Amino acid sequence: MVRILGKALKLPGLVRPQVFDSELRSTRLTSQLGIALGVAFMICFFTGVISHLIQHPPGWFSWPSRPAGLYRLTQGLHVVTGLAFVPLLGAKLWSVYPRLFQWPPLRSIGHAIERASIAVLVAAALFQVVGGVLNISRWYGALPYFFTTGHYWVAWLTVGALLTHIGVKLPLVRDALARSDAIADKGGLSRRGFLATVASAGAVITVATVGQTVSPLARVSVLAPRRPTVGPQRLPVNKTAAGAAVAGQALDPSYRLVVAGPEREVRLSVTDLRALPQHTVILPIACVEGWSANGTWTGVRLRDLADLVGAHPQAASAEIESLEQRGRYRRSHVPSSHLADALTLIALELNGAVLHLDHGYPARLIAPNRPGVLQTKWISRISIRNGS
Binding interface with ligand MTE (CB under 6 A): 235-239, 244, 285, 287, 322, 324, 327, 329-330, 359-360, 372-373, 375-378
Residue of 321, 303, 320 lying closest to 312 (CA atoms): 303
Binding site residues, Mo ion, CB under 5 A: 238, 287, 372-373
Residue 237 near which of Mo ion, ligand MTE, none (CB within 5-8 Å, type-dependent): ligand MTE
CB of 213 to ligand MTE, least distance (A): 12
CB of 209 to ligand MTE, least distance (A): 17
**226 vs 312, beta carbon nearer ligand MTE:** 226
CB of 373 to Mo ion, least distance (A): 5
CB 368 within 8 A of CB 68: yes
**161 vs 235, beta carbon nearer ligand MTE:** 235
**85 vs 361, beta carbon nearer ligand MTE:** 361
**132 vs 360, beta carbon nearer ligand MTE:** 360
**287 vs 357, beta carbon nearer Mo ion:** 287
CB of 301 to ligand MTE, least distance (A): 19
DSSP line for 255-307: --EEEE-SS-EEEE-HHHHHHSPPEEEEEEEE-TTS-EEEEEEEEEEHHHHHH
Q: Cα-flanking dihedrals φ and ψ of residue 360, to 5°?
A: 115, 15
Helices (H) and strands (E) in the chain, counts: 12, 10
CB of 306 to Mo ion, least distance (A): 26
Residue 206 near which of ligand MTE, Mo ion, none (CB within 5-8 Å, type-dependent): none
**338 vs 359, beta carbon nearer ligand MTE:** 359
Residue of 236, 240, 233 lying closest to 351 (CA atoms): 233
DSSP line for 58-112: -TT----S-STTHHHHHHHHHHHHHHHHHHHHHHHHHHHGGGGG-SSS--SHHHH
Nearby residues of 322 by Cβ (< 8 Å), 6 or more positions away: 244, 246, 329, 330, 331, 376, 377, 378, 379, 380
**Cβ count near 141 (within 10 Å):** 7
CB of 7 to ligand MTE, least distance (A): 53
CB 246 within 8 A of CB 323: yes
CB of 225 to ligand MTE, least distance (A): 12
CB 366 within 8 A of CB 344: yes
**293 vs 311, beta carbon nearer ligand MTE:** 293
Residue 234 CA to residue 84 CA, distance in Å, equals 29
